[in-house]
């Protein structure tokens, strides 16, 4: 990209910086950089804090245009192959699907999505679960942190379970010891007539059984810290819903701080032929919702700022209050430690969290921390992502699939319908 026009100016906040850029350069303006400065004063006294902002309009240079053209051609070719498979191919047998990972695997997902969408049109959709209150998340978090600080806190009945093979298997998979003991004790009380690993999927609460129900509504907001893959995940969902579900999808992004994220979504929107709205201010949302009142699905990307940045979290709360999503998916990377996941939930819990979405399952071989979070907070899981490929490397979360991964009984890349 090259800068076609550039300005520098003073602003009191990030929100004001964005607004000034849009007022002076138009809606295509982006923030190129901002740094804190001290201005005014006399003899070094009474100086005030401000931001010195550089904004501009970016346009593709010749080399970028060629690269984008090549990328779009590859993406179009892949998507057309999938659409061709969906339109005329015969679904392969289950054993054949297990041997192929390309179009055949995509077909199985696509066919299920289309069938579910058609059935949803014929019958009223189930009532969307009410998002948990922020205070409840904080209360649960407090209990979890207290347990971790004071040790396992296992009861006497759980202590006896520690000696069992089932607890050992869970602990070896990085499940917290007290959670493992609690799960095994629950298994023993239920007197099931199936082995432990066959019963365990029931512990994994999921939001839906197919893509539409796993999204949880029409207006969907994705929140999460930096680097977890929110933008790529949203692109995958937009592709599957617009191409395979035949739904009218709109992309919205409030991540105006990262040029790459905006351009990435803009490119996918071009490829898919769907509209994209770039938000300068949460106050713009009501008008945009009216503009896209006929949309079947609206996916909102948010700025992937650090969960330690309180000012950005205030912006997330303002965005939530203006957008009023049906569902908030908290996106977390599966390859981070349990305490790091708790920190994310603590900071991102400024808005009601409806579901958990775990990315980067292909970048770890230990999934016990996911079970810890599921068990502690009782939140459903919506999707797993297993790579960067758009649109294939995403699947609706399933309990049996997760348990197979937990005990290393399945290859992470192999998705099955």
Q: Where are the domains of the chain?
A: 2-59, 64-109, 110-136+204-406, 155-203
Q: Are 214 and 208 in contact (CB under 8 A)?
A: yes
Ranges assigned E (strand) in 177-235: 219-223
- CB distance 254 to 301 below 8 Å: yes
Question: What are the distances in angstroms from CA 326 to CA 128, 201, 355, 381?
Answer: 7, 26, 11, 16
Nearest to 381 by CA among 315, 339, 332: 332
| CA gap 279, 18 in Å, rounded | 10
Q: Tell me which residue of 199, 176, 203, 165 sits closest to 381, measured CA to CA.
A: 203
Most confident region among 295-309, 352-366, 400-414 by mean pLDDT: 352-366
From 128-142, 241-255, 347-361, the region with the lowest mean pLDDT: 128-142
- On whether the CB atoms of residues 48 and 41 are closer than 8 A, the answer is yes
pLDDT at residue 156 greater than cutoff 60: no
Q: Is the pLDDT of residue 388 over 70?
A: yes
Q: Is the pLDDT score of 114 beyond 50?
A: no
30-39 and 48-59 strand pairing = antiparallel
pLDDT reported for residue 108: 43
Bigger pLDDT: 6 vs 158: 6
Comparing 35-39, 149-153, 211-215, 287-291, which segment has the lowest mean pLDDT?
A: 149-153
Give the pLDDT confidence score for residue 125 in this predicted structure. 40
Element (H, E) at 15: helix 14-25
pLDDT at 127 over 60: no
> Which residues fall within 8 angstroms of residue 196, CB to CB, at 6 or more apart?
166, 184, 187
Q: Which of 351, 346, 348, 319 is nearest to 255 (CA)?
A: 319
Q: Pick from 67-71, 99-103, 111-115 the range whose average pLDDT is largest.
A: 67-71
Instruction: pLDDT band for 271, please (50, 70, 90 cuts).
Output: confident
Rounded Cα gap, residues 12 and 89, in angstroms: 58
User: Distance between CA 120 and CA 70 in Å, rounded?
Assistant: 37
Count CA atoms within 13 Å of residue 288 on its CB side: 22
pLDDT over 90 (residue 237): yes
Q: Residue 82 pLDDT more than 70? A: no
Sign of CA dihedral 188, 190, 194, 200: negative
Note the pLDDT of residue 29.
80
> What confidence score (pLDDT) does residue 298 get?
97
- What is the CATH number assigned to the segment(s) 110-136+204-406? 3.40.50.300
Instruction: Report the distance separating Cα 96 and Cα 74, nearest Å.
Output: 26
Write the CB contacts of 23 (distance below 8 Å, at least 6 apart in sequence).
none
Is 382 a residue whose pLDDT tops 90? yes
How far, in Å, CA of 149 to CA of 181, rounded? Answer: 18
pLDDT at 265: 82
Instruction: Give the whole-angstrom CA distance, residue 390 versus residue 290.
Output: 29
Q: What is the DSSP letter of 282?
A: G
Give me the phi and psi of 263, to 5 degrees please.
-65, -35
Say what the pLDDT of residue 115 is: 44
pLDDT over 80 at 69, yes or no: no
Residue 7 φ then ψ, to 5°:
-135, 155
pLDDT of 377 higher than 60: yes
Average pLDDT taken over every residue of the chain: 78
Q: How confident is the model at residue 414 (pLDDT cuts 50, 70, 90)?
A: low
Question: Distance (Å, rounded) from C-alpha 31 to C-alpha 58?
Answer: 10
**Residue 347, number of CB atoms within 10 A of its CB:** 18
Which of 17-26, 28-37, 42-51, 295-304 reaches the highest mean pLDDT?
295-304
> pLDDT above 70 covers what percent of the chain?
72
Look at residue 182 and tell me whether its pLDDT is greater than 60.
Answer: yes
Share of residues in the chain with pLDDT > 90 (%): 35
Handedness of CA 132, 138, 139, 141 (dihedral sign): positive
**Range in 129-133, 142-146, 404-408 the model is least confident about:** 129-133
Q: What is the pLDDT of residue 196?
A: 93
Closest alpha carbon to 58 in 35, 28, 33, 34:
28
User: What mean pLDDT is predicted for residues 285-302?
Assistant: 95
Q: How far apart are the first and last CA of the chain?
A: 41
- The DSSP annotation for 379-394 comes to PPEEEEE-SS-TTTSE
The 10s digit of each residue's pLDDT in 323-345 is 999 999 999 999 998 889 998 88
pLDDT-based confidence at residue 254 (cuts at 50, 70, 90) = confident
């Amino acid at each position: 990209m090259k800068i076609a026009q550039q300005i520098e100016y003073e602003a009191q906040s990030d929100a004001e910086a964005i607004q000034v850029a849009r007022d002076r350069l138009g809606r295509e303006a982006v923030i190129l950089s901002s740094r804190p400065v001290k201005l005014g004063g006399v003899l070094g006294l009474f100086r005030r804090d401000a931001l010195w902002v550089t904004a501009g309009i970016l346009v593709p240079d010749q080399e970028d245009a060629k690269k984008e053209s090549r990328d779009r051609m590859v993406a179009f070719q892949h998507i057309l192959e999938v659409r061709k498979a969906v339109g005329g191919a015969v679904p392969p047998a289950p054993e054949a699907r297990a041997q192929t990972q390309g179009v055949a695997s995509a077909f199985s997902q696509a066919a299920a999505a289309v069938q579910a969408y058609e059935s949803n049109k014929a019958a009223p959709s189930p009532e969307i679960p009410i998002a948990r209150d922020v205070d409840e998340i904080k209360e649960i978090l407090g209990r979890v942190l207290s347990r971790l600080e004071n040790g396992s806190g296992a009861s006497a009945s759980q202590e006896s379970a520690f000696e069992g093979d089932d607890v050992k298997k869970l602990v070896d998979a990085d499940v917290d010891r007290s959670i493992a003991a609690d799960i095994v004790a629950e298994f023993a009380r239920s007197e099931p007539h199936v082995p432990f690993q066959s019963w365990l999927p029931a512990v994994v609460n999921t939001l839906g059984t197919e893509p539409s129900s796993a999204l949880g509504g029409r207006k969907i907001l994705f929140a999460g810290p930096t680097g977890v893959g929110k933008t790529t995940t949203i692109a995958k969902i937009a592709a599957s819903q617009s191409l395979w579900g035949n739904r009218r999808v709109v992309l919205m992004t409030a991540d105006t701080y990262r040029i790459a994220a905006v351009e990435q979504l803009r490119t996918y929107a071009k490829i898919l032929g769907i509209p994209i709205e770039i938000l300068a201010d949460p106050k713009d949302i009501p008008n945009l919702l009216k503009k896209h009142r006929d949309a079947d699905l609206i996916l909102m990307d948010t700025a992937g700022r650090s969960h330690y940045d309180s000012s950005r979290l205030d912006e997330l709360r303002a965005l939530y209050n203006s957008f009023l999503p049906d569902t908030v998916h908290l996106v977390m990377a599966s390859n981070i430690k349990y305490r790091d996941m708790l920190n994310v939930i603590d900071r991102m819990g400024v808005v009601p969290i409806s579901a958990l979405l775990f990315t980067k399952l292909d970048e770890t071989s230990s999934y016990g921390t996911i079970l810890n979070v599921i068990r502690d907070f009782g939140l459903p899981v919506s999707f797993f992502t297993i790579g960067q490929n758009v649109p294939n490397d995403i699947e609706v979360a399933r309990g049996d699939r997760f348990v197979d991964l937990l005990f290393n009984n399945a290859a992470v890349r192999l998705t099955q319908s």
